[in-house]
Amino acid sequence: MDILLQLVFSGIALGMIYAVIAFGYQLTFATSGTLNFGQGEALMLGALVGLSVVGNIHGGPYLNYWLMIPIVLVFGALQGMFVEWIGVRPAIKIKSEFGWIMSTIALAIIFKNVAENIWGKDDLPFPMPISGTPFQIFGANVQPMQVLVVIGALLIMAAVELFNRKSIYGKAVVATSNDRDAAGLMGINTSMVITFSYALSSATAAFAGVLVAPLTLTGATMGAALGLKAFAVAIIGGLTSGMGAIVGGLILGIAETVTGFYISTGYKEVPGLLLLLLVLAVKPAGLFGKTAIKKV
């Protein structure tokens, strides 16, 4: 029993990381119908910028872990705006259906190469803000940092949801995501809202980066695999539902650790991806997604 519990706990910590990145995919999809395929790289850049501030690699540490978080959030937001401005806006302007796919992938590759040149190709350790010594819950070991990851992920998602529901700016975001043209006619600057959604999505990814970095190693290549898994999570959960991101993340994370233990570590990624195919076949909008009817 504690074995299963241990696997589930590790799976939850892993899954929540996927969930935050998946949440970032959803933010931009909701407002603009586009996705940033560089979400994994946004996470990687956030983690590396954070490392430059709190680690001892660039003459630091300059600040402690908690004071570094706002800096990383601002950096993430600026990076997201840059992606939107250079890669997505032109595609939306010419009403290109797919231009943004290639341009966000291209930007992701450029970011990775730039990061390799600034931070090197090696993996680096990230200092842990709290003790790494695990404590026990029902016989299973949990690291305080893993708990922090789960809480941090839930907090940032709750904050974004609250902002969207309660504030007037958030209502503009919701209006744009419901019907961009109508929102535009009502006087909402929809292109600004889209830029904002990109800033928000990259900022959450950057935040996820500094959350996960103390548990994994930090390096220019850390984003690719995480970004891809999170994309699968976004599809499983549905691209329009924040709840879907959480549930999808948990499903994939737990499926990976449980499969690794009970079947084979060589096959640990298979069940999650099989689930992805199943969801696409049975309920293409995702487990929690709304089916959109597209008129042509």
Partner 1 sequence: MTYKTQALVAAALMTFAMSSQAADPIKIGVSGPYTGGSAPMGVSMRDGVKLAVAEINAAGGVLGRQLQIVERDDEAKNERGVQIAQELINKEKVVATVGYANTGVALASQRFYQEAKIPVITNVATGTVVTKQFEKDKDNYIFRTSANDAIQAKMLADEAIDKQKYTKVAILADSTNYGQLGREDLEKALAAKKITPVAVEKYNLKDVDMTAQLLKSKQGGAQVVLTYGIGPELAQIANGMEKLNWHVPIIGSWPLSMGNFIDNSGKNGNGARMPQTFIQDGNTPKRKAFIEAYQKAYKIDRMPSAVSAAQGYDSILLLAAAIKQAGTTDGDKVRAALESLNTKVEGVVTTYDKPFTRDDHEAIKAGSVVMGEVRNGRVVLGK
Pairing of strands 135-137, 140-142: antiparallel
Give residues 129-158 in contact with partner 1 (rule: CB under 8 A).
Answer: 132-134, 136, 141, 143, 146
Cα angle 129, 130, 133; round to 5: 135
Cα–Cα distance between 147 and 29 in angstroms, integer? 29
Cβ distance to partner 1 smaller for residue 59 or 187: 59
Q: Which helix (H) or strand (E) holds 130?
A: none
Give residues 181-240 in contact with partner 1 (rule: CB under 8 A).
Answer: 215-217, 221-222, 225
Cα–Cα distance between 296 and 293 in angstroms, integer? 10
Give residues 234-263 in contact with partner 1 (rule: CB under 8 A).
Answer: 256-261
How far, in whole angstroms, is CA 293 from its chain's centroid? 27
123 binds partner 1 (CB under 8 A): yes
41 binds partner 1 (CB under 8 A): no
60 binds partner 1 (CB under 8 A): no
Q: Which of 97, 98, 181, 266 binds partner 1 (CB under 8 A)?
A: 266
176 binds partner 1 (CB under 8 A): no
59 binds partner 1 (CB under 8 A): no
Cβ distance to partner 1 smaller for residue 30 or 44: 44
Q: Which of 81, 161, 268, 285 binds partner 1 (CB under 8 A)?
A: 268
Closest C-alpha to 233, from 157, 122, 181, 139? 157
Cα–Cα distance between 203 and 219 in angstroms, integer? 18
Closest C-alpha to 2, from 155, 142, 179, 181? 142
| Residues at the site binding partner 1, with contacts judged by CB under 8 A | 3, 6-7, 10, 14, 116, 120-125, 132-134, 136, 141, 143, 146, 215-217, 221-222, 225, 256-261, 264-266, 268
